[in-house]
Amino acid sequence: MSQPEDSSRQPPYPENQIESNDHSEALDDSSSDTTSEEIQHSPEGCLNWRVMPPDDLLDLTMCSNDLKQKVRTLVLGITRITFNDGQLAICVSNRDFDNDETRIDLEIVQQESLPSKLTRITSYLRSRIWRKFVLRKINGMDYEVEKVNHNDYGIDLTFDGFNYRVVNFRKEFIIYTHDTTTAHENVLRHVFFVFANPTPLFYLDLRGIQSENFDVPTKLVGLYDQCRQCTCLAIGVRKNEFVEQAHKTLEMMTELKNLNIDISLTETEFFSPRMCQIDHLNVVYHKNAISEKNMLSLNCETIKLWSVTITATALNLFIKKWLKSTKKRFRYLEIPIIYLDPDDSDQNEIMKDLNVKKFDDLQRAVFYKRYDWSYELNCTGQCRYINCRNGLDITRSDGALATIVSSTSFFYFFVWHERFPEQPKDHVPFCDY
């Protein structure tokens, strides 16, 4: 068994040595799929590998060590990595990070043996698709792999004058193994070696990591600069054993700016100092609490807390903290679903000692225009208009204006960096707060 490759190693083949006339190297005998046969029997096949999409290139690299080395010299980069309930999705830039990426799905299944022939026949009668299994070498280890084609459609996105396309016609590789943790590590080592562009990831989503593989994130972030320098992270902290790993992961990601956390713990509050200076913070609490101290330590541009338990006093002090400040960084705090602590749930406490005023159309517009942050694409997402006609305004000593919109079930605190932004053309009254 060969040793795992070091993903930091430089490509071994100079550019002028790749177009070799020697195409005699055969792929694995067990590689019976069409792509491998074409490479084996077609002289043109080895010359055409340069123009293949990343999912086909990944398949080739699992068939031939020679092509594994050659594909590495294309310096295609991984743009996003997403874990979702045992499935690993890797998005790869098609050519030179040209705003065009291909998604590759890899599902790692714990199974001692492949499905029986009877099971495969039954599956075929139901779906009319014959399940095909091939032997592939991933990071030097042999795995049984099933390939599936998905006929999805592409999505065109436009942002700030640039056109982006997410290519959703994709291949899925189902990898069968008796050791999923080792398989995850081998797959990640393989793809980072093959797609060796050092550009940091746009987005890393670790929310789908399973309990048996909870240490995979720290190993992933610890091994690769592309992950450590990623600026946008989504992570789940759903069990106590994930807490330590989550802290380690956050500490290692030194360039982190945008953070999406899903917290579902019992009797434990999760909070990391890294959350304090994040640009865009989104936390799903599932009724978990945030303490007054931690709430006041947040110094983010935008804060969105879902289903959080919090005290009325903490909200009051957060507003007063903004009033005493002269910084212009903060934009808004949103709590779409709020649970006030039963021991401190008086709505009047939120407005205590605050000089608030009713809406004045000479001071600001009716609708607050705000942009959701798209974590998956790590850029500004769609804009929303919030009706603040019934909100209460408060003015800071430097003239900055903010609006408080609250009830027993939600709380919003908006700062008007632009007092008269563009207003919506179509207004739906029943959406007013």
- The whole-number pLDDT of residue 407 equals 92
Higher pLDDT, 129 or 304: 304
Burial 210-223 (b: 16+ CB within 10 A, else e): eeebbbbbbbbbeb
- The whole-number pLDDT of residue 113 equals 60
Taking the C-alpha atoms of residue 219 and residue 196, their distance in angstroms, rounded to an integer, is: 18
SS3 197: coil
Residue 5, number of CB atoms within 10 A of its CB: 19
Taking the C-alpha atoms of residue 126 and residue 124, their distance in angstroms, rounded to an integer, is: 5
Q: What is the mean pLDDT of residues 285-292?
A: 95
Q: What is the DSSP letter of 432?
A: -
Cα-based angle 208, 210, 215 (whole degrees, multiple of 5): 105
**Per-residue model confidence as pLDDT tens digits over 341-367:** 999 999 999 999 999 999 999 999 999
> pTM for the full model?
0.80
What residues does each domain of the chain span? 34-199, 200-256
Judged against a pLDDT cut of 90, whether residue 141 lies above it is answered with: yes
Higher pLDDT, 60 or 45: 60
Q: What is the DSSP letter of 267?
A: S
Q: What is the mean pLDDT of residues 146-156?
A: 68
Judged against a pLDDT cut of 60, whether residue 429 lies above it is answered with: no
Of 320, 318, 316, 312, the residue nearest 297 (C-alpha): 318
107: tokens are 């599902």
Across the chain, mean pLDDT equals: 83
Angle between helices 216-223 and 241-252 (to 10 degrees): 10
Q: What is the DSSP letter of 389?
A: T
Taking the C-alpha atoms of residue 135 and residue 113, their distance in angstroms, rounded to an integer, is: 13
